Amino acid sequence: MYEVDPVKPSSIVHFDWMTLVFPIGRDEQARQGKTVCEFVDGVLHGLKLDRLVFMPLAHGLYTYDKAKTAGNNSIIVAWYDPIKGVLPKGKQTFMVQMSGSGVETLESILVNSGLTVAEFVKKAIEEFGATFSRVDPCCNFFNCSKEFSARYVGEEAKKGNLITRSSSVRLVRKFSSQGAKDDLDAYQGASEGYTCYVGKNPKQLRIYNKLAERSEKVNLLYQVQSWSRWEFQLNGVHAQAFMEAYVDRGFDLVQTWIDWLSSNYRWIERVGHQEKRSRYPNASWYDNLIKTAKEKIKVRSGRQSPTFERQAKWIDKQVLPTFASIYYARLQKYVENGVSYPDAKKLAIEKVVADLERQAINEKVDWAQVSSFVEESRDL
Whether the predicted pLDDT of 240 surpasses 80 = yes
Whether the predicted pLDDT of 344 surpasses 90 = no
- Least confident window among 104-108, 274-278, 363-367: 363-367
**DSSP string spanning 282-303?**
BPHHHHHHHHHHHHHEEES---
**Portion of the chain with pLDDT greater than 90, in percent:** 57
Model pLDDT, residue 380: 47
Mean pLDDT of 356-361: 61
**CA atoms of 227 and 96, how far apart (whole Å):** 29
Which residues, in sequence order, are CB contacts of 36 under 8 Å at separation 6+? 24, 79, 80, 81, 82, 87, 94
Mean pLDDT of 151-155: 94
User: How do the domains of the chain map onto residue ranges?
Assistant: 13-129, 138-232+268-299, 308-377
Question: CB of 281 within 8 A of CB of 269?
Answer: yes
Model pLDDT, residue 177: 47
Question: pTM value?
Answer: 0.78
**Separation in Å, CA 165 to CA 16, 137, 169, 204, 372:** 24, 20, 11, 11, 54
Dihedral of the alpha carbons of 34, 39, 45, 46, in degrees to the nearest 10: 100
- The topology (CATH level 3) of 13-129 is Double Stranded RNA Binding Domain (3.30.160)
* Average pLDDT taken over every residue of the chain: 85
Q: Which has more pLDDT, 38 or 214?
A: 38
**CA atoms of 208 and 172, how far apart (whole Å):** 9
Model pLDDT, residue 138: 96
Model pLDDT, residue 143: 92
Whether the predicted pLDDT of 230 surpasses 50 = yes
Q: Which has more pLDDT, 263 or 375?
A: 263
Whether the predicted pLDDT of 275 surpasses 90 = no
Q: What angle do CA 246, 247, 253 make, to 5 degrees?
A: 30
Model pLDDT, residue 182: 44
pLDDT in tens, 3-15: 788 889 989 999 9
Model pLDDT, residue 17: 98
Model pLDDT, residue 114: 84
Mean pLDDT of 259-270: 96
Of these ranges, 221-230, 280-289, 304-313, the one predicted with the greatest mean pLDDT is 280-289
**CA atoms of 175 and 213, how far apart (whole Å):** 7
What are the two backbone dihedrals, phi and then psi, of residue 195, each rounded to the nearest 5 degrees? -135, 135
pLDDT in tens, 295-319: 766 666 444 444 555 556 656 666 6
Model pLDDT, residue 183: 47
pLDDT in tens, 159-188: 999 999 988 999 998 654 444 444 446 777
Whether the predicted pLDDT of 263 surpasses 90 = yes
pLDDT in tens, 30-82: 999 999 999 999 999 999 999 898 999 988 999 999 999 998 889 999 999 99
**CA atoms of 228 and 196, how far apart (whole Å):** 11
pLDDT in tens, 80-124: 999 999 999 999 999 999 999 999 999 988 988 888 999 999 999
Question: CB of 147 within 8 A of CB of 285?
Answer: yes
**CA atoms of 139 and 230, how far apart (whole Å):** 5
Buried b (16+ CB within 10 A) or exposed e, 9-29: bbbbbbbbbbbbbbebeeebe
Q: Which has more pLDDT, 341 or 373?
A: 341
**DSSP H or E run through 340:** none
**CA atoms of 378 and 372, how far apart (whole Å):** 10
**Separation in Å, CA 124 to CA 15, 134, 334:** 15, 15, 41
pLDDT in tens, 314-333: 566 666 776 777 777 777 87
Model pLDDT, residue 175: 55
Model pLDDT, residue 179: 44
Model pLDDT, residue 304: 45
- Neighbour tally for 331: CB within 10 Å: 19
